[in-house]
Structure 1
C-alpha cells in the first residue's frame, strides 16, 4: 500500500483520478435510471430494454471513433462536444414525452455521444508518472473504478424510487456536466496532445495485444454481466440482497486490484487472473443463497480488477502513443458488447432453467477467457522486465512537465 501512497502523492495523479471517476460516475447510473424511467412512462420493460439496447449500440459504435477524434481535434474539444450532446439527450429523455421510436433515437444519440473519458485518462497516465509507476497506476485505476459500481446503483435507485425517475435522470445530467467539466479543465488534459494517427481506422486491432485485450475484455465483462442478471433474477424483488451481493463482488475486485497491483505482468498473468474469476464462479454452482453467493463472488472478484489492469497495461505497451486512445476505444467497445452478450445469454438461460443458468453462462464465458489466455499466451507481451509505456511516435508529443 505504501507504493500506492507514493503514487497518489505524484503531482496531479490524485486529482486526475478523482476527476475521471466523477466524470465516469454516470456510467454506473444511466442504464438503471433509463430502465426505471422508460418502464414508468411506457408501462413496459420490453420498451425499456429496446431503449437500453439502442444506447448500448451507440456506445459500442462511438467508442473507437470518438477516441480517435481526440488525436485529430484535441481531447478538450471532443470531450466538451460529446459531453454537451450527451447531457442534452439525457435531459430530453427525462423531460419530453415521446413515442417509443423517439426514446430509442435519443438513447442512440446519448450512447453515440458518451464522452470518451476512459480512453482519454488512460492515454494521459503514461505522461504523468515514471515508467516504474505505470503498471501500479493501471491497477489502481481498475480497482478504484469499482467504487462506481458499488455506490452509483444504490444512489440512483434511491433517487428514482423515493424522489422520481425524472429527477434521477436530471441528477445524472448534473454529474455528467459537473464531473466532465472538472476532468476537461484538469491541467493534464490541456498539457497532453495526442499526435494524429497515421494508420487507418481499425488498423490498431492488428496488434495481437490489442486484439487479445479486446477479446478477453469481452469475455470478462460478459461473465460479470451474466452474474448481475443472475443475482437480480434471484433477489431483485425480495429486498436488499441483490445490491449487497453485487457490492461484495465489487469489493472483492477492489481488494484484488489493490493487493495484486504491484505484481509484474508476465505472459501468464491474464490466464492466472481469469482463472481466479472462473474459480470463484465455479463456487456459485453449489448454492444460491445470499451468503454463499456473496463469498463465491468475492473470490471471483479478486481476479477481476487485476485482469482489467493486465488489459490496460498490455494495450499501452503494445501501441504507439498516437494509437492509444483508439486502442482503448476498441477495448471499451469489446466490453460493451460483452455486457450485452452476457445479459442476453443469461436471460435466455434464466427463462429456461432459472437463475442457476445465469451462473452457468458466467462460468462459460470465464472458462473461454482462460482458454484464450492460455492458448494465445505468446501474444501477450512480457512486462516483467519493462514498463507499460506506449511506443514512441516520430511526431513530437507535448508532455506534462
Structure 2
C-alpha cells in the first residue's frame, strides 16, 4: 500500500484521479438506468438490451475518433463539445417517451458523444509520475474506477425504484455536468498536449499487444455486460437486490485491484486474471439467491481490475506517446462493442430461456477472454523489470505552461 500512498502524495495525482472518476461516474449509472427505463416503457428486456447496445455501438465508434481529435484540436475543446451533446441527448431519452427505434437513435447519439475522459487521463498519467510509478498508477486507477461500479448500480436502482427510472437517468446527467466541468478545468488537461499522430487512423492496431488488449477487453466487458442484464432479470427492477449484487461484483474488483496491483506483469498475467473472472462467472450459473450470487460474483470481480491494469500497461508500453490516446480509444471501442454484444445477446436469451440465458452468454464470453491471452502469450509484453511508459516520440512534445 506504500506505493499507492506515495502516488497520492505526488502533486496533482489525487486531484486528477478524483476529477476523472466523477466525470466518468455517470457511465456506471447509465447502462443500468437505460436498461431499467426502456424495459419499463416497452415491457421487453430484448428491446432494452438492443437500445443499450445502440449506445455502446455509438461509444465504440467515437472512441478512436474523438481521441484523434484531441491530438488535433486539444483536449479541452473536444471534451466541452462532447459533454454538452451527451448531456442533451441523454436528457431526451429520460424525458421523451418514444418508440424503440427512436430510443435506439438517441442512445446511439449519446454514445457517439461520450466524453473521451478515459483516453485523456491515461495519456496524461505518464507525464505526471516517474516510470516506476506508472504501473501502480494504472492499478490504482483501475481499482478506483470500481467505485463507479460499486456505487453506480446501487444509486441508480435506488433512485429508479423510489423516484422513477427517468430520475435515475437525470441524476447521471447532473453528475456528468459537474464531473465533466471539474475534469476539463483541471490544470493537467490544459498543460499536456497530445502530439498530432503521423499515422493513419487504425494503424496502431497493427501492434500485436494493442490488438490483444483490444480483443480481451471486448470479451471481458462483454461478459460483464451480459452478467449485468442477467442479474437485473433475476431480481427485477422493483427492489435494490440487483444493484447490491452488481455492487458486490465491483467491490470484488476493487479488492483484487488493490491486492494484486503491485505484482510484476509477466507474460501469463492476463490469462491468470481472466481465469479468475471466468471461474466466478461460471459458478454463477449454478445459483440464483442473492447471498450465493454475491459470493461467486465477488470472486469473479477479483480478476476484473487486475486484468484491466494489465491491459492498460500493455498498451502504454507498446506505442509512442502520440499514439497512446488513439490506442486507448480503440481499446475502449473493443470494450464497448463487447458491451453491445453482451447486452443484446443476453436480452435475447432471457426472452427465450429466462435469466439463466444471460449467465450462459457471460460464461462463454469470459471463457474466450481466458483462452485468447492463453493462446496469444507470445504477443503479451513481459514488463517484469521494465516500466510501462510509452515509447518516446522523436520530436519534442509541447507542454503548455499556462
TM-score (norm 2): 0.93
Aligned residue in 2 for 1:217: 217
Residue 109 of structure 1 deviates from its aligned partner by 1.8
Are the counterparts in 2 of residues 150 and 250 from structure 1 also a CA contact under 8 Å?
A: yes
Aligned residue in 2 for 1:283: 283
Change (3 A) 1:90 1:342: closer
Matches within 5 A, 1:188-227: 188-227=188-227
Please give the alpha-carbon distance, in whole angstroms, between the structure 1 residues aligned to 2:221 and 2:130.
30
Partner of 1:318, secondary structure, is: coil
Please give the alpha-carbon distance, in whole angstroms, between the structure 2 residues aligned to 1:78 and 1:55.
19
Are the counterparts in 2 of residues 195 and 395 from structure 1 also a CA contact under 8 Å?
A: no
Please give the alpha-carbon distance, in whole angstroms, between the structure 1 residues aligned to 2:156 and 2:240.
14
Residue 2 of structure 1 deviates from its aligned partner by 1.6
Matches within 5 A, 1:367-382: 367-382=367-382
Please give the alpha-carbon distance, in whole angstroms, between the structure 2 residues aligned to 1:45 and 1:368.
25
Aligned residue in 2 for 1:396: 396
Aligned residue in 2 for 1:263: 263
Structure 1 range deviating more: 104-113 or 308-317? 104-113
After superposition, what is the alpha-carbon deviation per residue over 1:149-183, rounded to whole angstroms, capped at 9, x for unaligned? 11122222333332344443332222111100100
Are the counterparts in 2 of residues 188 and 400 from structure 1 also a CA contact under 8 Å?
A: no
Change (3 A) 1:237 1:179: closer
Residue 216 of structure 1 deviates from its aligned partner by 0.5
Change (3 A) 1:174 1:231: closer
Aligned residue in 1 for 2:79: 79
Question: Do structure 1's residue 115 and structure 2's residue 98 form an aligned pair?
Answer: no
Residue 119 of structure 1 deviates from its aligned partner by 0.6
Number of aligned residue pairs = 401
Change (3 A) 1:213 1:286: same
Are the counterparts in 2 of residues 66 and 116 from structure 1 also a CA contact under 8 Å?
A: yes
Aligned residue in 1 for 2:53: 53
For structure 1, list consecutive stretches of 5 or more residues without a partner in the other structure: none
Question: Do structure 1's residue 307 and structure 2's residue 294 form an aligned pair?
Answer: no
Change (3 A) 1:93 1:238: closer
Aligned residue in 2 for 1:156: 156
Structure 1 range deviating more: 240-249 or 203-212? 240-249
Are the counterparts in 2 of residues 127 and 399 from structure 1 also a CA contact under 8 Å?
A: no
Are the counterparts in 2 of residues 322 and 393 from structure 1 also a CA contact under 8 Å?
A: yes
After superposition, what is the alpha-carbon deviation per residue over 1:91-140, rounded to whole angstroms, capped at 9, x for unaligned? 33344455554443332221111100011001111111111110011111
Please give the alpha-carbon distance, in whole angstroms, between the structure 2 residues aligned to 1:67 and 1:307.
23
Residue 285 of structure 1 deviates from its aligned partner by 3.9
Structure 1 range deviating more: 133-142 or 368-377? 368-377
Aligned residue in 2 for 1:186: 186
For structure 2, list consecutive stretches of 5 or more residues without a partner in the other structure: none
